[in-house]
Amino acid sequence: MPQIIKVILFTDTDGFARFREEQLPLDHGSPQSALSDLMPSGGYQLRTSPVGFRSSFHCTTDPQWVFILGGQMEIGIHAGSSRIFMPGEHFYSADLLPNGESFDPRRHGHWSRQVGPDPLVTLFVRG
């Protein structure tokens, strides 16, 4: 059965953001057009960020899919690692602030930045 790798940015039990991967089955449709389950969404936003853009550490406010439409996006976490996402790639951003905690940029969240010569164009789909 065909599958897509779902990269997930999440808040671990220690409050730090981490990446993990899951297999998303494409078990509907046909062999020529394999589909996933129909997933609910709560709207979408398009964003463009200029060359040189970099955010400070922040948490995701609502879980959402992030699709890279143009340019490149790097996501960094406190562990010192980062991942670069290219056009056509995606990840699920769910690194929410733990319940009852106040945001601490030394511990919580992730940063994002535009990478390469082209502006970053992204599609955010609330999940």
What confidence tens digit (pLDDT) does each residue in 61-101 have? 999 999 999 999 999 999 999 999 999 999 999 999 999 99
Name, in order, each residue with C-beta under 8 angstroms of 28's C-beta and a sequence gap of 6 or more: 34, 35, 36, 37
Instruction: In whole angstroms, give the CA distance from residue 63 to residue 34.
Output: 25
pLDDT the model gives residue 1: 82
| Under 8 Å between Cβ of 9 and 91 | yes
Which residues form the domain of 115? 3-126
The string of pLDDT tens digits covering residues 8-61 is 999 999 999 999 999 999 999 998 999 999 999 999 999 999 999 999 999 999
The sheet carrying 64-70 orders its strands as 17-25, 3-11, 90-94, 64-70, 120-126, 44-49
Percent above pLDDT 70 for the chain: 100
Mean pLDDT for the chain overall: 97
Residue 112, burial from CB neighbour count under 10 angstroms (0-12, 13-18, 19+)? buried
DSSP helix/strand/coil, 19: strand
26: domain CATH number is: 2.60.120.10
- What's this model's pTM, rounded to 2 decimal places? 0.93
Number of domains in the chain: 1
* Residue 108 CA to its chain's centroid (Å): 15
